[in-house]
Amino acid sequence: MTITVLGISGSPHRHGNTETLLDRFLEGAQSAGASVEKVILKDLEYTPCRGCNACHRDGNCIVNDAAPPLFDKIMAADCVAIASPIYSMGITAQLKGFIDRGQYLWARRFVTKTLAFSPEHLARHKGIFISTAGQNWDHVFDGAYPSLTALFHDAGFEYYDNIVANNMDTWKGIKNHPTALDEAARKGQQVVSVLEALKKST
């Protein structure tokens, strides 16, 4: 069966460094035989989480917009690649607004206890974070990882890998980076091979 890979771009502008890195990852995945799809968050209509905790009653979000259907789509994929540039040492407000809407999945896991993932399920669902930053600090991505961990775990994904490239200001864009684009393509191919092998092993 074909491996499905979903890419989500959380950048407010199109075809920048981060989306380019995501594209290369998806191309790699496609070349390895996966069915790939890309979603642009900025084109979707959704509001940030209201913090109303209504989902703690029945595990459902009361806000009907584009966010819950996208979580459904994420959970139907074998691999999800979430991309965001680093703004002010964190993910974009756009992506954070979306991730916070996943609170209803957290509520299903820990409040209503209607959602649980086996270790086998987690191993067969790989989450990857893709990011670029202008800053050259190595720790520039550190503030992003914990929220990505929350998203991956609540949606039933193993936090499998990061594809990150800092120092964009010096490189003058991802196209001049010596290794990042090739790394993204290679990792796109590799994750599909790993997922295929896992599927065959059952």
| Contacting residue, 7, 28, 102, 188, with another protein by CB under 8 A | 102
Half-sphere exposure for 155 (CA within 13 Å, toward CB): 32
Question: What is the per-residue binding string for another protein in 53-92, x denoting contact by CB under 8 A?
Answer: x-------------------------------x-xxxxxx
Compare residues 175 and 199 and give the one whose CB is closer to another protein.
175
44, 150, 194, 198: which one contacts another protein (CB under 8 A)? 150
Task: Give first-to-last CA distance, the chain, whole Å.
Answer: 12
Of positions 93, 115, 123, 194, contacts another protein by CB under 8 A: 93
| 96 vs 193: CA distance, rounded Å | 30
Binding mask 34-53 for another protein (x = CB under 8 A): --------------xxxxxx
The answer to the question of residue 30 lying near another protein (CB under 8 A) is: no
Q: DSSP letters of 34-84?
A: -EEEEEEGGGS---------THHHHS--S--SSHHHHHHHHHH-SEEEEE-
Q: How far apart are CA 10 and CA 68, in angstroms?
A: 16
| 9: its two tokens | 């771009």
Residues in contact with another protein by CB under 8 A are 11-13, 16, 48-53, 85, 87-94, 96-97, 99-100, 102-103, 106, 139, 142-147, 149-151
